[in-house]
Structure 1
Amino acid sequence: MKAGSKFLNAVSAFALSAGVVVSGASVVVLASPLAAEAAVIQRIDVRGAQRTGQEAVRSNLTIRPGVAFSNSDIDESVKRLYATGYFSDVKISVSGGTLVVSVNESRLVNQVVFNGNRKIKDDKLQAVVQTQPLGPYSDAIIQADIQRLKEAYTSIGRSDVQITTQTAPVGQGRVNLAFVINEGERTKISSINFVGNQAYGDRRLHDVLVTKESGPLSFITRKDVYSDDKLRADEEALRQFYYNHGYPDFRVVSSNAVLDESKNEYTITFTVEEGARYNFGNVAVESTVSGISGEELQGLVQTKSGNTYNAKEIQKTMEAISKKVASAGYPFARVTPRGDRNFQTNTVGVTYLVDQGERAYVERIDIRGNTRTRDYVIRREFDLSEGDAFNQTMITRAKRRLEALGYFGKVNISTQQGSSPDRVVIVVDVEDQATGSFGIGAGYAANDGVVLEASVEEKNFLGRGQYIRVAAGGGQDSSRTYSLNFTEPYFLGYRLAAGFDVFKSQTSSNDYYTYEEQGFTLRVTAPITEELATTFRYNYKEIQYSGDGDWKTSLSRPYLDLVNGGTYVQSSVSQTLTYNTLDSMTLPRQGIYATVTHEYAGLGGDSEFYKIYGRARYFHTLSDEMDLIGQLSVGAGHVVATGDKLNVFDQFTLGGRQVRGFENDGIGPRMRNGDTIGGTTYFTASAEVTAPLPVVPEDFGLRAAFFADAGTLYGNEVANTAGIQGTSSAWRASVGAGITWASPFGALRFDYAVPVMKEDYDQEQRFRFSMANQF
């Protein structure tokens, strides 16, 4: 019997006793004195509630003895009883002064189990379904649970999952419920197509998207899993890409994902309208805030007249102006960009309007959706808290910071009206994603052959936002390395990234001696601006040399003092300035990454020196259409002794890491047996161009590189020139080509370089296979 019919029967019983006739769906009121009066009952008689209990039934009724009631009360009471899910049938009638409530109890669920699931564990599925042990058995709820389970499987790329149910009675009106799951095969994305794009080809736009086409390694990367949320994110990624490359009129006309059920594959199509490309026209700042003029804010503007239109630069300008005006005592100030489009010259003039804004305060910050990350990890990315002046620009900055953490698959920030017109509630919706990884890296060293490294990394340890990494590696010979890294990004509640590094390594020279080192570093990094940061370190290292042989006789006395065996200690403090404007840390296309470090050793130990060294890298997109990226880099360093002399491990070494085509320490001063002893001064320079490999889909992450490197290392304060060779400042250079692969196991690089300028005693290594960690 359907719920509507049950309710109609219940109403009929009451209607007849009150002089009302129910016929079909209409109610006819007869001419009777009782029809105009509300009914009153003296008692309630509940029948059939054996497990549930009579009081549980009475508590869901709106009708009370001695209180007048009407048809609407019966209607509401029936609805409430059905809503509990514990009853399959409900009838209410009136007999004299008694309200008779007759119910048939639904079956109860004794146990819920899942059969056939391998890709999603039981506890995950249990959290998805609403049917729970000791709860009512409801066909409607179970069907809804099946749909939820299918959505859970769709989210991991298994859209063809099939789910049925089985029940087994266990007595006393209870049943065991089993969801029988056939997980099926992974649903693939066969192709991602673009319609309407003229300025950029499909290959370039593929790289912008979060969703990728299925490939041989998709089962590891999981980037080919389709979801509506990812499709929306891809739409936004396309918009931001075009907005930041001069196309303010760009729009996504449509995005469609069509599932071919016979092949279990999606075809995704984006239809876009690019519009014309614009440059910035006249740029100005106007202020109505008392005491602050537009002229003094002009220096904060990053949108320069004549440059390509870039929405990101507009946002950064708004943030800089808002921060400046707020620090001057105007926390409610509002910065609004006004565009002035010139269709003839394809320029957009921008005027930043600064006004007092409306007075509004943050009433509270509500955080939703975080199942693993702690609330305080999210709250600390906001530069405002409860009670502070509301500032939309700060909200935008917080969203960008949260996205940059890499903890969340989705970040949405919205606002709601608070308890009064001047109060605002900030609502943060996030979706946690996996932040741990296990990696296996490979490289090549001349002395040890293939070098392997295994590591375990977690970027959001215990949901606290902490970073931890444990790694171990070794080569075919005696090379061994171990390391432990830990970082607390908000030390003592401040935006200070404090941490430590512990390491131990062992290697050997060319049949002469064994070199071991172990130590630790304590560090803290403080931001100066959004792009500039400083890091302070204390470094402690123990170095041990051991070995025997006639090789000692070729060395001067100072070097003999070092390598006769024993342990040496290096204790130093250092400071590093880092300037970073890169648009991406994984595949930068625009920006600068530069570091300069100065270090002083002499806090005890055997080393006494002052070092200064640094490197700057500049990236620029040479062709957006071809995704051609150019890179220039320069580096330099110098060390001077602050005590009697330098030790061999105090000096710089130079080789294949900076000038490809040579061994790691293959350039510069060395003993006549070939062992390097380093130098006091070095310079390096490099130029490189990278592009996607033709024919190969861009989603594979393969890029070709062509480069030219140059460098020199000279100077020596360890041994006299009679015992070594290579102290001149002669430059070395090489040219070559390589392939980089953004693999699921990490960024790998394969290079082949030919030295075109070298010395006879330099040690070559033309082929190089290594992890391509750039920063």
Structure 2
Amino acid sequence: PERKGFLVTFKIEEGQQYRIGSIDFRSSIPNFDASSMRSYSRVSIGSLYNVESVEKSVEEMQIEASRRGYAFAVVRPGGDRNFEAHTVAIVFNIDEGPRTYIERINIRGNTRTRDYVIRREFDISEGDAYNRALVDRAERRLKNLDFFKSVKISTEPGSSSDRVVLIVDLEEKSTGDFSVSGGYSTTDGALAEVSISERNLLGRGLFAKAAVTYGQYARGYSLSFVEPYLLDYRVALGLDLYQRQQLANSFISYGTKTLGFSPRLGFSLREDLALQVRYSIYQQEITLPSTLANCNNVLGSSAFNPSPAFAASQTPPLDLTSSNGLGCYSDGEASLPVRKELAGGRTLTSALGYTLNYNTLDNNKNPSDGLLIDFRQDFAGVGGDVTYLKTAMDAKYYQSLVSDLVGLVHLQGGVLTKIGNNEIRMLDHFQMGPNLVRGFAPNGIGPRDLNPFGTQDALGGTKYWGASLELQMPFWFLPKEVGLKGAVYADAGSLFDYQGPTTWSVTNELTTPKNSSCVPSTVNPPTAGTCTGLVYDDSRVVRTSVGVGLIWASPFGPLRFDYAVPLTKGKYDRVQEFRFGGGTSF
């Protein structure tokens, strides 16, 4: 009474979960095979009953029926609950709907966006049979463009009883972004980025972006342009020009410079399936201090600067007392594949590739249900200096378990295949660390150079696999608006099978444990051995770890903190238990 109002309390109780007991398809339309709709169903026997999946099934079936010439077909789902077994028997009834046609499509509120940009999101036009599923799909597509604050499609009576007018009401919003971003990660150090982008350039639906990045260990720029409807077909044309510079840091002894260009075409095969084909051409070179690339075992050469392994392999052994027995290792030395890459100078890679993307996520930014699969292959050898076939797969499955608890299963794997007699560069190998198993340093997993007096560079591998199980949940004692979630996870994976260079005739580094009876070097205790070529560890140990994470959609940008402890690891792997990354825009 004192507040002169009412206090209304809504009490929500979660009922018993039901599973799908059976699925049936029935049709009242002559000559229409209802069972042929089974492949378009998003629900399966034994799965939890989900209204959204049923609605998506109805949409897919109705659109498919329209494609087959049944323009007025209407799919109506029905369900019969078994209260004792807690199951639902679903029936999809396919009937003939009212014969209604679209007289006009009127668009209102688009002060900047061209009409054709909006109309091309419709799979129907004036004169076509009215199909509510296709109208709903067009409305969803318009919302996903992110050009408008609001999108609403309604109907009005037409000039006759079998005619309707579609009214598309829109409210434009700003689509340009200028941002100055700053962040820090344990991999790239402090990082700043200035970017300008426009999602609806000239009101034509074009995307353009220019960005410049400058950080402790990573620098570069990129230019991107996308035409989402090439020649008025639902084919996206993308163009990317980029330059990247990665500086030497505590994880790698060398730097890289990359300049590249990549045109690509994107095809929407279905609402949940997309294909991208691309061509990539880039030039890459390594940078390395001269003190890390001065070994030379060629007797009589003016650049002769022997390694202790070479000195020990001679009869009699060479005297290296002036360098404390270390020879060219006295000031450090990069691994043989790195030095060989440096001597080769700039390398041009020309590759054709494609990516298949399957996406049923309920929310791309913050998913709680659905499946995301990326399968990609790249063939290098369309000109250029290198040849290989690289295949990689990444799959993430999200499932809402109870309340706000979300489970994530993440599987990944890849294979680098040698083609012909062409040697695979070390830089083309897969390099793995916390992106495969958390708790390990960048480039911390897999084959590694065992020279105890050198930089012991990670060599990478041609095969990898990884599996991760993660549970994410918000903190119950905090409002959801805070955007703070916790995570617990377990990771497993491995990287192995180095196939890069192990010998180098230019510097007379030719003997390895595989091609001779030389004595390999050891790390503990540190000994040089007598093998002048590459001695490396390539054990196929399964790396595992468990950890906890903190995920924060903060006002300063997305932040994530991870603390993971390796349970099993390779003898020479590098560990990094804490990892942090994040940034901001203002």
TM-score interval, normalised by the smaller of the two chains: 0.7 to 0.9
Aligned to 2:422: 644
Q: What is the RMSD of the two structures over their aligned residues, measured on CA atoms?
A: 2.8
Question: Do the aligned residues in 1 keep the contact of 2:423 with 2:501 (CA within 8 Å)?
Answer: no
Distance change >3 Å, CA 751–CA 439, structure 1 → 2: farther
From 370, 378, 389, the equivalent of 1:591 is 370
Q: CA deviation at 1:604?
A: 1.3
Q: Deviations over 1:277-319 (max 9, x none)?
A: 7665654322222211323334433344665443322322222
1:521 aligns with one of 241, 258, 262:
262
Contact 2:336 2:534 in 1 (8 A): no
Change (3 A) 1:453 1:556: closer
2:140 pairs, out of 375, 378, 400, with 400
* Closer, same or farther: CA 304–753 of 1 in aligned 2, 3 Å: closer
1:654 aligns with 2:444: no
Quick one: distance in 2 between partners of 1:305 and 1:555? 58
Q: 1:737 to 1:361 in 2, by over 3 A?
A: same
Alignment of 1:570 with 2:349, yes or no, is yes
Contact 1:714 1:726 in 2 (8 A): no
Q: 1:575-611 deviations in whole A, cap 9, x for unaligned?
A: 1111111111111111111111111000111110011
Contact (CA 8 Å) 2:334, 2:456: kept in 1 or not?
no
Letter paired with 2:347: Y
CA contact (8 A) 1:509 1:675 kept: no
Which residue matches 2:274? 533
The structure with the greater share of residues assigned to helix is 1
SS in 1 for 2:77: strand
Tell me the residue number matched to 2:479.
697
CA contact 2:180–2:192 (8 Å) conserved in 1: no
More RCO (CA 8 Å, sep 6+):
2
CA distance in 2, matches of 1:724, 1:772: 40
- Letter aligned with residue 526 of structure 1: F
Alignment of 1:162-173 (within 5 A): none
Taking the aligned partners of 1:745 and 1:390, their CA distance within structure 2 comes to 46
Shift of residue 701 of structure 1? 0.8
1:426 aligns with 2:166: yes
Extract unaligned runs of 5+ from structure 2: 1-6, 296-332, 503-511, 513-532
Partner of residue 486 from structure 1, selected from 207, 214, 225: 225
Q: Which runs of 5+ in 1 are unaligned?
A: 1-192, 201-245, 247-275
**Aligned CA distance change for structure 1 residues 365 and 679 (closer, same or farther; 3 Å):** same
| Distance (whole Å) between structure 2 residues aligned to residue 313 and residue 406 of structure 1 | 24
Structure 2 vs 1, CA of residues 544 and 287 (structure 1 numbering), >3 Å: closer, same or farther?
same
State the SS of the aligned residue for 1:528. Answer: strand
Corresponding residue pairs, total: 503
1:754 pairs, out of 565, 579, 583, with 565
SS, match of residue 667 in structure 1: coil
Letter in 2 for 1:589: S
1:464 alignment partner in structure 2: 204
Q: Is the deviation greater in 423-432 or in 718-727? A: 718-727
Give the 3 Å change call, closer, same or farther, for CA 708–436 of structure 1 in structure 2.
farther
2:458 matched residue in structure 1 = 676
Q: Deviations over 1:238-284 (max 9, x none)?
A: xxxxxxxx8xxxxxxxxxxxxxxxxxxxxxxxxxxxxx876656543
Letter in 1 for 2:445: I
The residue identity in structure 1 corresponding to 2:184 is: G
Larger Rg: 1
Kindly indicate whether the alpha-carbon contact (under 8 Å) linking 1:602 and 1:608 is maintained by their aligned counterparts in 2. yes
| Counterpart Cα distance in 2 of 1:502 and 1:379 | 31
1:327, CA displacement in angstroms? 2.2
1:765 aligns with 2:576: yes
Kept in 1, the 8 Å contact 2:142–2:151? The answer is: yes
Secondary structure at 2:485 match in 1: strand
Of 190, 211, 214, the residue aligned with 1:474 is: 214
* Distance in 1 (alpha carbons) for counterparts of 2:87 and 2:417: 54
Q: Deviations over 1:79-106 (max 9, x none)?
A: xxxxxxxxxxxxxxxxxxxxxxxxxxxx
How far does residue 473 in structure 1 lie from its aligned partner after superposition? 2.1
Partner of residue 733, structure 1:
544
Query: Is residue 547–residue 565 contact of structure 1 (8 Å, CA) maintained in 2?
Result: no
CA contact (8 A) 1:669 1:716 kept: yes
Q: What does 1:74-153 correspond to in 2, within 5 Å?
A: none
Name 2:9's counterpart in structure 1. 195
Q: How far apart are the structure 2 equivalents of 1:451 and 1:544?
A: 22
User: In 1, distance between residues paired with 2:541 and 2:484?
Assistant: 35
The 2-side partners of 1:305 and 1:638 are apart by: 35
Q: Distance in 2 between matches of 1:397 and 1:474?
A: 42
For 1:424 and 1:542, the matched residues in 2 are separated by 57
**CA offsets, 1:177-217, max 9 Å, x none?**
xxxxxxxxxxxxxxxx98323336xxxxxxxxxxxxxxxxx
In structure 1, the partner of 2:524 is none
Pick from 388, 391, 410: which aligns with 1:612? 391
Q: Which amino acid is 1:743 matched to?
A: S
CA distance in 2, matches of 1:344, 1:762: 55
Question: How far has the Cα of 1:727 moved from its partner?
Answer: 1.6
Asked whether the equivalents of residues 253 and 457 of structure 2 are also in contact (C-alpha less than 8 Å), the reply is no
Q: Indicate the residue corresponding to 2:248 in structure 1.
A: 509
| Change in CA separation of 1:326 and 1:536 when aligned onto 2, cut-off 3 Å | same
Distance 1:465 1:423, change over 3 A: same
> SS where residue 394 of structure 1 aligns?
helix
Offset of residue 565 of structure 1: 5.7
- Matched ranges for 1:345-360 at <5 A: 349-360=89-100
Q: Please state whether the residue corresponding to 1:662 is helix, strand or coil.
A: coil
The CA deviation string for residues 94-133 of structure 1, in whole angstroms up to 9 with x for no partner, is xxxxxxxxxxxxxxxxxxxxxxxxxxxxxxxxxxxxxxxx
Q: Offset of 1:361 from its aligned partner?
A: 2.0
Q: Is the 8 A contact 1:663 1:764 kept in 2?
A: yes
Task: Specify whether residues 652 and 305 from structure 1 end up closer, same or farther in structure 2 by C-alpha distance, changes over 3 A only.
Answer: closer
CA distance in 1, matches of 2:245, 2:238: 24
* SS of residue matched to 1:388: coil
Pair 1:497-2:236 in alignment: yes
C-alpha distance in structure 2 between counterparts of 1:571 and 1:662, whole Å: 32
Contact 1:571 1:603 in 2 (8 A): yes
Query: What SS does structure 2 have at the residue aligned with 1:354?
Result: strand
1:536-551 to 2 correspondences below 5 Å: 536-551=277-292
Q: AA paired with 1:442?
A: G
663-672 or 588-597, which deviates more: 663-672
Counterpart CA distance in 2 for 1:755 and 1:414 is 57
Quick one: which amino acid aligns to residue 422 of structure 2?
A: D
Deviation per CA, 1:534-588: give whole Å up to 9, x if none. 1101011110223343433367876544212621111101111111111111111
- C-alpha deviations, 1:311-338, integer Å up to 9, x for none? 3223222222222222222222222334
Contact 2:182-2:583 at 8 Å conserved across structures: no
Q: 1:493 to 1:583 in 2, by over 3 A?
A: same
1:408-462 CA distances to partner (integer Å, 9 max, x unpaired)?
Answer: 222211111222222221111122233333252423245x532333433433333
Output one character per residue of 1:149-203: Cα deviation in whole Å (capped at 9) or x when no partner.
Answer: xxxxxxxxxxxxxxxxxxxxxxxxxxxxxxxxxxxxxxxxxxxx98323336xxx
Q: 2:62 is paired with a residue of what secondary structure?
A: helix
Letter in 1 for 2:283: E
* Structure 2 counterpart of 1:637, one-letter code: G
Preserved CA contact (<8 Å) 1:546 1:565: no
Contact 2:425–2:501 (CA under 8 A) maintained in structure 1: no
- Alignment-mate amino acid for residue 258 of structure 2: E
Deviation of 1:348 after TM superposition, in Å, equals 5.8
The one-letter code of the counterpart of 2:448 is R
Distance 1:757 1:453, change over 3 A: farther
Q: Secondary structure at the match of 1:505?
A: strand
Q: Secondary structure at the match of 2:346?
A: strand
Q: Residues of 1 paired with 2:477 and 2:270: CA distance? A: 42
